[in-house]
Structure 1
Amino acid sequence: MQNLLITGGAGFIGCNYVRLALETHPDYNVVVFDKLTYAGRMENLQDVADRFGDRFAFVQGDICDAAAVEGAVRDHAIDTIVNFAAETHVDRSILDPDAFIRTDVYGTYVLLEAARKF
């Protein structure tokens, strides 16, 4: 079995990728790691949990939290990380660029470090 960590998996694009991965790859286990902010909603994954319960897990967390990311990677024996976690909406980035830099840049760095360590 291949163990995937899909960050941002409760968002629109991420949840559709989760479905695709589980439907087309019976050898995949999927762990969604999502902060559940304005874009990520558990309702987006309800059918996934019902259909693929034994191959699906959810961890609520922030990709900027290195300990949480490393814990998920270690605890679920992750082989592959797919990153859909991001701050979106360009208009918001103009008013509050710090949040975008933190998540989109630093969060990606945290994921890369976790992949390197494990």
Structure 2
Amino acid sequence: MTIIITGGAGFIGSNFIFYMMKKYPDYRIICLDKLTYAGNLSTLAPVMGKPNFRFVKMDICDREAVYGLFEEKNPDVVVNFAAESHVDRSILNPEIFLETNIIGTSVLMDACRKYGIGRYHQVSTDEVYGDLPL
């Protein structure tokens, strides 16, 4: 089983990677992260040398690069943790939220459709899902 995990250098994504590698040591894990303010490569230090782990610095909005990775690695599952999530940052630059949270998500879903990926998990922010009525 090959899993692409986006946003895996962030707090939640990296902990998911650690969990998956411990629970499923025979799975191949590919972490795709742009390494923005939320991602820190040193977070992944415990798994960087593992033979079944690969880190790829990439923007999920880069359709050509994402398609190339999917074609090369033929993943079975995609888990998307990549998202802009700091509300105060969205006030300063709302376009980056649209790019990552909407366009990037669309690129990943299009790649899943194009390459026949049977399972896609979206873990994101209200900028993708919208707010919850109370």
How far apart are the structure 2 equivalents of 1:68 and 1:39?
21
Large movers: runs of 4+ above 3 Å: none
Alpha-carbon RMSD across the aligned residues, in angstroms, is 0.9
Q: CA deviation at 1:95?
A: 2.0
- Residue 107 (1) aligns with residue 74 (2): no
1:63 matched residue in structure 2? 60
How far apart are the structure 1 equivalents of 2:83 and 2:27?
24
- Letter of the structure 2 residue corresponding to residue 12 of structure 1: F
What per-residue deviation string (whole Å, max 9, x for no partner) do you get for residues 30-77 of structure 1? 000000111111101011123xx1110011100000011111111112
Q: Which moved more, 1:6-15 or 1:23-32?
A: 23-32
May I ask how many residue pairs the two structures share in their alignment?
115
Q: CA deviation at 1:89?
A: 0.6
How far apart are the structure 2 equivalents of 1:5 and 1:71?
13
SS in structure 1 opposite 2:38?
coil
Stretches of structure 1 that go unaligned for 5 or more consecutive residues are: none
CA contact (8 A) 1:59 1:72 kept: no
SS in structure 2 opposite 1:4?
strand
How far apart are the structure 1 equivalents of 2:94 and 2:36?
17
SS in structure 2 opposite 1:54?
coil
1:92 matched residue in structure 2? 89
Q: Which one has more relative contact order, counting CA pairs under 8 Å at least 6 apart?
A: 1
- Letter of the structure 2 residue corresponding to residue 16 of structure 1: N
How far apart are the structure 2 equivalents of 1:8 and 1:91?
20
Stretches of structure 2 that go unaligned for 5 or more consecutive residues are: 116-134
Question: TM-score of the superposition, structure 2-length normalised?
Answer: 0.83
2:15 matched residue in structure 1? 16
Question: TM-score of the superposition, structure 1-length normalised?
Answer: 0.93
